[in-house]
A = this chain, B = another copy of it.
Amino acid sequence: MRRMTARPANAHQARLLRLLRDGGPNSRAQLGDQVDLSRSKLAVEVDRLLETDLVVADGLAASRGGRRSHNIRLNPHLRFLGVDIGATSVDVAVTNAELEILGHINQPMDVREGPVAVFEQVLAMAAKLKASGLAEGFDGAGIGVPGPVRFPEGIPVAPPIMPGWDGFPVREALSQDLGCPVMVDNDVNLMAMGEQHAGVARTVADFLCVKIGTGIGCGIVVGGEVYRGTTGSAGDIGHIQAVPDGRPCACGNRGCLEAHFSGAALARDAMEAAEQRLSAELAGRLEANGTLSAVDVAAAAAAGDATALDLIREGGNRTGQVIAGLVSFFNPGLVVIGGGVTGLGHTLLAAIRTQVYRGSLPLATGNLPIVLGELGPTAGVIGAARLISDHLFSPA
């Protein structure tokens, strides 16, 4: 099949495409109920969309008491590629136009190998998904990278954990390689968009999405739109000071949140505890694997290990204090906690909640849910697909 290149010609068509994306197949009549257009106008726009092949007819809808309506849906052959590049692994997924995941691969990887090596791997993973018959080609791709991005151009700027990526024209290069439109964003922002599209944040206009992985970042959604800041570095909360005169951080300061709690810091703390024989559980795991990661701490905590639980609680407290400040400042309607460490689960969540509910004023916390992300590792790739579909489903 030839790839779709058509774009909606006007705001009405864009609106309809998004309704079909978010609501699945729909009858013309149901669409009419949602868009406040005259029936004639709606019919014209739907016909034009049918001509572009972006949407197709899909049989008859159930009767609502009278004549049955014809169903409309997004072309089932449309395919989006969602790529979520983490510090130590990549997720690549294929979705249909309704952003349902059809196939998903995760592979370990090191961003520090640089964009060329990483994209070689990403393209191979995409090819593998294609080969398994899930897609004949891609109509668009969304890419998440673990660092700040100059959004309009899709170029990473001064990313601390990705030396060699600074200024690399990710959007341009991948658009060439994949032969389709590409959008690039910070991985945390994509997680926020994912949770907004298909997760816990579906109905909230203003929320924060804190991602605790190798580092710590925060997606900011204002009025349903991701806020990226003046230079694309908004949400970079890993280097907020959490402990006065605390541990030295790679950024040159002391006491950064990220230095005290993150996947990397947690692994270091666990190793230290194991070596000092504070925890038999952790020491055993260290002996078995030669190293420890956040996953080991999670497992130890699940097994009831006091040291591991303490580490998690301690980190949750630090994180919660920072989030409490952000809640006072931003007054969100929801806080989502996600990222690799969600395996730490409710111990972590409880610590964060305690600090936030204690440290912020009641007016801000009174009706504030603080929850774990619903989508886990798929949040990023769903958000990536959402990013590119938002781009493609907007007036040309």
A residues engaging B (CB < 8 A)? 148, 157-158, 160, 205-206, 218, 220, 222, 227-237, 239-241, 244, 251, 253, 321-322, 324-326, 328-333, 358-364, 366-368
A189 CB to nearest chain B CB (Å):
12
Contacting pair B157 A231 (CB below 8 A):
no
Contact A329-B329, Cβ < 8 Å, known A227-B222, A229-B206, A366-B231: yes
Contacting pair A330 B229 (CB below 8 A):
yes
Contacting pair B325 A236 (CB below 8 A):
no
Cβ–Cβ < 8 Å partners of A220 in chain B: 329-330
Contacting pair B241 A324 (CB below 8 A):
yes
Cβ–Cβ < 8 Å partners of A148 in chain B: 363
Contacting pair B158 A325 (CB below 8 A):
no
Cβ–Cβ < 8 Å partners of A232 in chain B: 331
The residue that A329 contacts in the complex, of B222, B326, B360, with Cβ under 8 A, is: B326
| Residue among A222, A235, A328, A364 having the largest count of chain B Cβ atoms under 10 Å | A328
A32 CB to nearest chain B CB (Å):
25
Given pairs A206-B230, A237-B328, 19 additional interface contacts (CB within 8 A):
A148-B363, A158-B363, A160-B361, A220-B330, A222-B222, A230-B333, A230-B368, A231-B331, A232-B331, A233-B331, A233-B363, A234-B331, A236-B329, A236-B363, A236-B364, A240-B328, A241-B324, A241-B325, A326-B329
Cβ–Cβ < 8 Å partners of A251 in chain B: 361
Interface of A (DSSP majority class): loop
Q: List 20 A-B contacts (CB under 8 A).
A: A148-B363, A158-B362, A158-B363, A206-B229, A220-B329, A222-B227, A228-B331, A230-B331, A230-B332, A231-B363, A231-B366, A233-B363, A234-B329, A236-B328, A236-B331, A236-B363, A237-B329, A239-B360, A239-B361, A241-B359
Contacting pair A364 B328 (CB below 8 A):
no
Look across to chain B and name the residue whose beta carbon is closest to the beta carbon of A251: B361
The residue that A229 contacts in the complex, of B325, B331, B359, B362, with Cβ under 8 A, is: B331
| Residue among A230, A239, A332 having the largest count of chain B Cβ atoms under 10 Å | A230
Query: A364 vs B235: C-alpha distance in the bound complex, in angstroms?
Result: 11
Contacting pair A234 B325 (CB below 8 A):
no
A326 CB to nearest chain B CB (Å):
6
